[in-house]
Amino acid sequence: MGGVRARNESAWLLPNDGTRTHHALRENMRTFADGDEVDVVIVGCGAGGATLLQRLARAGLRVVALDAGPFWDPDRDWVSDEAGSHHLYWTEPRVITGDDPVPLGSNNSGRGVGGSMVHYAGFTPRFHPSDFRTRILDGVGADWPIRYCDLRPYYRDLEEELPVAGERWPWGDPHGYPHRPHPVGGNGEVFLRGARKLGITAKVGPVAIANGRFGNRPHCIYRGFCLQGCKVNAKASPLITHIPDALARGAEVRADSMVTSIEVDQRTGRAKGVRYVRDGRPHFQRAAMVAVAGYSIETPRLLLNSASSRFPDGLCNDFDQVGRYLMVQGAPQTAGRFDAEVRMYKAPPPEVSSEEFYETDPAKPYKRGFSLQTVSPLPITWAEHVAAQGHWGRVLRDYMRDYVHWSCLGALCEFLPQPGNRVTLAQETDGYGLPVARFSYSQCDNDRLLMRAAQAVMENLLRAAGAGEVITIDRYAHLVGGARMAADERHGVVDADCRTFAVPNLYITDGSVLPTQGSANPALTIMAVAARAADHMAGGAR
Amino acid sequence: MSGPGQRFPGFDVLSQSGNWDPVTARVVLARVGPAGDLRFFTPAEGQAAAALLDRLLGQADGPGVPLVGLVDARLSEGRTDGWRYDDMPEDGRAWRDSLSFLDADALAGVGLGFAACPAADQEALIQAIRDLGPADWHGMAAGHIWSLWTRYACTAFYSHPSAWNEIGFPGPAYPRGYKNAGVDRREPFEVRDARPSDDPVPEGA
């Protein structure tokens, strides 16, 4: 692990006295004035923005990251409680529509430094090589302008930096993980038992929770509140994996700063900086380069809200690509009832997964596939699962009293990118007077077939493990796309290096650039894409 | 079917609150204290909301979680989920509108405001809306208003230690964590289900 510390010292910059935040590092961080032209200003401090910030600071660039939310202190700001964690989500107004509208807020939208990785479960699989070539291989989706091998070295580095724990991974590009797999709880046990009975390969991991101490980060205490922000500093998020090192290398994180537009010089066509609001006052940060990392809803919204005479339909939107090809994963969740006590709330929700159904199976009526994972909802989320069966009143309560007997699995189905699934601007405005995002989603036939196929496999697996009743709720998980990477400006918003086609010194370095999503949780790939873009930007691209 | 408290006899989440970190304890214990005055709902709306929420969670026999107070606090402090369906107003407006529609349904069907209706009539009115599924109810998709009601109701009820007691969930777990994860394994402070075969819907039902 000596190699990791030399590249990224974050875990060693955290306190080892039982508290979770290095306050002096934050108080003494370098700061830049608005009028001081920094090398790069980054919008958003989650998986993409924070990784970029750390890489650029390491490369010696003068860089500041603005985030609309707070600079979290896990001791002070986070609780070991479901309802009390509502403030971790982006809950600004948004409108959802389409044939299959996708709820936002909790589950898929983060807020504050660390972004959605503060409340993600912690699964960090790589994409498969096929994910980068679905059009040529399967005739669906899109081909990326980069290949899997372009991201492989970044995957490997980041898996050490988070670090990731898991068994040797037999799917996609087979690989090992730097930390050994965690012991499993009741839900993982059920998954492994059912999979064994059916001959389905399942593996423990890959989970971005150190197995053992890592730097000054303590061992996981298996309390099951991964989705509420890790008060232990055991589960990885950029707040603890990349921000400390970035600050130590001279980067600034400017929290509570809502970026309202990107300013472009109408004569040269180059970005000049960003307008933002802090403490109720407007500011303008000058920068030689701008990188947007606001994720799949806010990034397109910011571009659309940055219209000007040169870009009347929104920044980088000359070819009507901004906001399009936004994807969610179909995430049906199936639970099974056991006479034994499973108590799935004990141990991290991310325990065991299978990618056996990830690739296209020519014998099936659909293309691409799905992955299976443990999910282990806490009581409020579990009540949503039970209520979705139509139960309410006494029946709902009777089901809920039975909580300790249920095991719960989730699938991630690879929904295909479609042009009509997109963000546009609504009439309604937010507290800053800016039009809010309107997000339209409709499934295609392939999407629906995958949902049903995944549900059938999960039901079989739970029954094979000994379940009596099984119940399923149709859900969605994750967001990617909305400003995708492509070979040219008629098919996407950024090039292979995340540079926008329209503005040479404007980059997008978050999940919105992904052209496809596979059946993998996107966090690791978002970080890898941002780290790769950082190499390009630090290499003198201006 | 089991009654409240019978599945995990003697299990009391609050008896463990000395093991919670102080930030979490403050947040959770505030829910247990006496409910304050309503700040978002008008008194009439509050009565209708209380009746609706108590029916949605089957609270006729307890445990008396102050659902309307918890929902009112969320709405008055703007702790909404942010997103809304495009056929719905924002959450606060949707609550007010839907409560007045519920009263209108009750007056038309029973001749009384919703809060004043007998329990059986309240349940029938609620079930009628549930049965509409995606169909229209007073200009919005019934399924969307059902989603709003049940999300707020379930979040409020299952955030309360009394609810955790009846489902065997120990609540906050920091900094102690768990040492005995796995099927049929318990911590010293967890209580075994006294009626483990009490499947709410037995196989074949």
Span A264-302, pLDDT tens digits: 999 999 999 999 999 999 999 999 999 999 999 999 999
The hierarchical CATH code for the domain A2-538 is: 3.50.50.60
Mean predicted confidence (pLDDT) in A486-490: 98
Q: How far apart are CA A536 and CA A533, in angstroms?
A: 5
Span B14-43, pLDDT tens digits: 999 999 999 999 999 999 988 789 999 999
- Nearest CA to A289 out of A478, A542, A458, A533 is that of A542
Q: Is A418 helix (H, G, I), strand (E, B) or coil?
A: coil
What's the gap between Cα B96 and its chain centre? 18
Which of A19, A76, A79, A231 to probe by mutation at the B interface, max B CB count within 10 Å?
A79
Residues 6 or more apart from A207 whose CB is under 8 A from it?
Answer: A122, A123, A124, A164, A165, A166, A182, A348, A350, A351
Kindly tell me the burial class for residue A282, based on how many C-beta atoms sit within 10 Å of its own C-beta (0-12, 13-18, 19 or more).
exposed
pLDDT exceeds 80 at position A2: no
What tokens were used for A306? Answer: 């940055």
In chain A, positions 3-32, which contact chain B (CB-CB < 8 Å)?
A: none
Span A244-259, pLDDT tens digits: 999 999 999 999 999 9
Which of B79, B129, B150, B183 to probe by mutation at the A interface, max A CB count within 10 Å?
B183
Percent of chain A clearing pLDDT 70 (strictly above): 99
Q: For position B205, what pLDDT does the model report?
A: 45
Asked if A72 has any chain B CB less than 8 Å from its own CB, the reply is no
Q: What angle do CA B60, B65, B69 make, to 5 degrees?
A: 115
Domain boundaries, chain A: 2-538
Span A169-190, pLDDT tens digits: 999 999 999 999 999 999 999 9
Out of B23, B56, B158, name the one closest to residue A79 (CB): B23
Span A25-62, pLDDT tens digits: 999 999 999 999 999 999 999 999 999 999 999 999 99
What is the mean pLDDT for each group of 10 consecutive residues in chain B (205 residues)?
68 97 97 90 98 97 94 94 93 98 97 97 98 95 96 98 97 96 96 87 52
Percent of chain A clearing pLDDT 90 (strictly above): 97
Mean predicted confidence (pLDDT) in A402-406: 97
Q: For position B200, what pLDDT does the model report?
A: 73
Interface A:B, Cβ pairs < 8 A? 220
Q: List phi, psi (to 5°) of A168.
A: -60, 135
Span A89-109, pLDDT tens digits: 999 999 999 999 999 987 788
Which string of DSSP letters, residue by residue, matches A216-258?
A: TBPPP---S-GGG--TTS-B--HHHHTHHHHHHTT-EEE-SEE
Span A352-381, pLDDT tens digits: 999 999 999 999 999 999 999 999 999 999
Q: For position A106, what pLDDT does the model report?
A: 79
In chain A, positions 430-449, which contact chain B (CB-CB < 8 Å)?
A: 438
pLDDT exceeds 60 at position A1: no
CB contact under 8 A, A384 and B150: yes
pLDDT exceeds 80 at position A309: yes
